[in-house]
Amino acid sequence: MSEFEKAAAGGGGFLGDLWELLRREKKWWLIPLVIVLLAVAGLMALASTAAAPFIYTLF
Please spell the DSSP secondary structure of 27-42, one letter per residue: -TTHHHHHHHHHHHHH
Per-residue pLDDT, 24: 87
Pick the residue with more confidence: 23 or 12?
23
pLDDT band for 36, please (50, 70, 90 cuts): very high
Q: What is the pTM of this model?
A: 0.56
Rounded distance between C-alpha atoms, residue 30 and residue 19, angstroms: 10
What residues does each domain of the chain span? 3-58
Identity of the amino acid at 58: L
